[in-house]
Amino acid sequence: MIPGDGIGPEVADAAARAIDATGVKIDWERIELNADLIQKRGEVLPNEVMDSLNRTFTGLKGPVTTPIAGGFQSVNVALRKRLDLFANVRPIRSLPGVKTRFQDLKLDMVIFRENTEDLYSGLEHEVVKDVVTSLKVITRTASIRIANYAFDYAKATNRRKVSAVHKANIMKLADGLFLRCCREVASGHPEVRYEELIVDNASMQLVIRPETFDILLLPNLYGDIISDLCAGLVGGLGIVPGANMGEKHAVFEAVHGSAPDIAGKGIANPTALMLSGVMMLIHLKEMDAANRLQTAIETVYASQGAVTRDLGGNATTQQFTDAVIAAMK
């Protein structure tokens, strides 16, 4: 458990309470990692963080603040590179009772984002003063791997369609390679419908007819942007879970920020980290516990009796958590 910054410790404690209430027995190893500690230690991933993840292979992580336009590297990016967490997986699913312009559509899609390269490789160089280059890295190995992950998931869960998102009309070599890899993998899965969309068109289609999407398959940068756009379709980052999956390790995290303006006030919404906990339980093959927690969260939202302020309610973090636990009983 990495609680993180800001509201992180509050939502982490709430998620742990809810997960424990399912009846599954977890020995939480709590590891502190936040902006103050990173600045003090001078390292983004201290040894105790890596030692813990290399013992447990599984992490549940709250938000860690990342400085803008300077400062230390993103903890998320560092973790993904060090542990080779190549697949970022974000389910986008409508929750009952959450009011959005698409609430009647009951959206249910999954985003698969390549997690280790693209412009997030961090290969930047100032050629001369005020002239900077940033390298976009796309490899066959990484592209084939994320495509396989998405299509294998589609087959295992009976999903009907995979949409590869790109900008190969402009970046013909980089995005062209990504597309060729997607096509190659798609050819081995004739039972899954495959389509390709340019990223700007995909963005427009998502806000016009999001119900037409099932699985989205994207390189790193587009995946980061599109996954937040899709979170907005169902109510925001506060209710959308996320997972970073590798061959050996898996880190499950809330995708929202650390929200320092409300930290310590007891009003943060722990739903995103609780739902990330559901993903973690599925990964650990604790299906019964995962179903209990998912159903309990949906029951609380359907009744609208203990919803937090970000979604129009008055419940505190503790009251929402208590309601989820009560729903499981």
Output the six-digit token pair for 287.
């299906």
Amino acid identity of residue 26, one-letter, is I
153 a catalytic residue? no
Q: What are phi and psi of 272, to 5 degrees?
A: -60, -45
Q: Do 162 and 217 meet the contact criterion of CB atoms below 8 Å apart?
A: yes
Output the six-digit token pair for 186.
């798609």
Q: 252 by DSSP, 3-state: which?
A: strand
Marked catalytic residue, from 5, 175, 224, 310: 224
136 a catalytic residue? no
CA within 13 Å, CB half, 301: 23
Q: 284 by DSSP, 3-state: which?
A: coil
Marked catalytic residue, from 5, 13, 118, 120: 120
Alpha helices in the chain (DSSP H): 8-20, 35-41, 47-56, 75-82, 140-156, 174-187, 199-208, 220-234, 271-283, 287-303, 317-328
Question: 127-138 burial by CB neighbour count: b if 16+ within 10 A, else e?
Answer: eeeeeeeeebbb
167 a catalytic residue? yes
200 a catalytic residue? yes
Query: How many angstroms separate the Cα of 229 from the Cα of each of 104, 223, 236?
Result: 18, 10, 9
Taking CB atoms within 8 Å and a gap of at least 24, the contacts of 225-230 are: 226/111, 226/165, 226/199, 226/202, 227/88, 227/90, 227/92, 227/111, 227/113, 227/255, 228/255, 229/203, 230/90, 230/92, 230/109, 230/111, 230/206
Output the six-digit token pair for 65.
């603040």
Marked catalytic residue, from 200, 248, 265, 288: 200
Marked catalytic residue, from 61, 81, 167, 301: 167
Q: Do 18 and 279 meet the contact criterion of CB atoms below 8 Å apart?
A: no
Catalytic residue ranges: 120, 167, 200, 224
